[in-house]
Amino acid sequence: MTTNTFKTAILLGLLSALLILGGRAIMGPNGLYLGLVLAGIMNFGSYFFSDKIALMSYSARPVTPAENADVYARVAPIVSGLCQRMGLPMPKLWLIPVESPNAFATGRNPQHASVAFTAGILRLMDDRELEGVVAHELGHVLHRDILISSVAAMLAGAITMLASMARWGMIFGGFSRDENDRGGGLADLFMILLAPLAAMLIQMAISRSREYDADAASAKYTGTPYELISGLRKLDTWSKRIPMDASPATAHLFIIKPFTGRSLMNLFSTHPSTADRIARLEAMR
């Protein structure tokens, strides 16, 4: 188990503990069960259909021998070779018709995976840099990061729902249950004010941890970290020069955060800083 995998397990455990303790504190056992059921329903749909939603939202077009054949001729051998090394089935390939350079992988498991490239990244990168990027995205598929992200989103969503219930409960006079089954007003205040923030921070930390592991997978399966290092440097420069109109709901999918400017705090970012990612890759040599 890698350090980042262990860190992810700990963070998921913290989310689960926050949900269990917070749910019991504000509404007793029924509050916990209700929050889990509602979040589970929402994220069941997200898990099975998020790939289609993401691809449709960016007007992605299939890359096959019959459609976008020139892109297929270039990209398919790179992807196929990496899949053989990583023991993965060939994913579906997609082209996003925008000039901002970026790429993402999606799909609920390796058998239903897709890798999408923007037109800009194909123009910007040479084949070795593109191989480093593809290996990163296939690293997400190999590690089943879509599943991990869905679980984290389910737990964080349930916590947010419970916080909303606590807020409305306080507005309308609280919940009619035995004080022994909950923590009282202070627990309600904690759940309303701090629990959703804590859940979001943990969810973002999980996302950043998975990015580091995907970077490591790229270095491992290409045999060198320098392909991805070169690609990340280009992406960091050109994604700011050519910003991408991306939804915050899908920002975590991309290899580099598709927004310009710096976030107020790294804690609230779905991606580690590019400089930190490059430093970690350089240490792998």
The pair of structure tokens assigned to 22 is: 């917070």
**Residue located via tokens 């925008």:** 98
**CA nearest neighbour of 106 among 159, 53, 63:** 53
Number of neighbours of residue 165 by Cβ within 10 angstroms: 21
Considering 99, 129, 131, 137, which one is annotated as catalytic?
A: 137
The pair of structure tokens assigned to 169 is: 């409960």
**How deeply is 224 buried, as exposed, middle or buried, from its count of CB atoms within 10 A (0-12, 13-18, 19+)?**
middle
How many residues does the structure list for the chain?
285
**Residue located via tokens 């455990």:** 13
DSSP H helical segments within the chain, as ranges?
3-57, 69-86, 119-124, 127-142, 145-171, 185-193, 195-222, 226-241, 274-282
Rounded to an integer, what distance in angstroms lies between the CA atom of residue 110 and that of residue 276? 28
Does the active-site annotation cover 129? no
Host H or E run for residue 180: none
Rounded to an integer, what distance in angstroms lies between the CA atom of residue 163 and that of residue 273? 31
Active site residues: 137
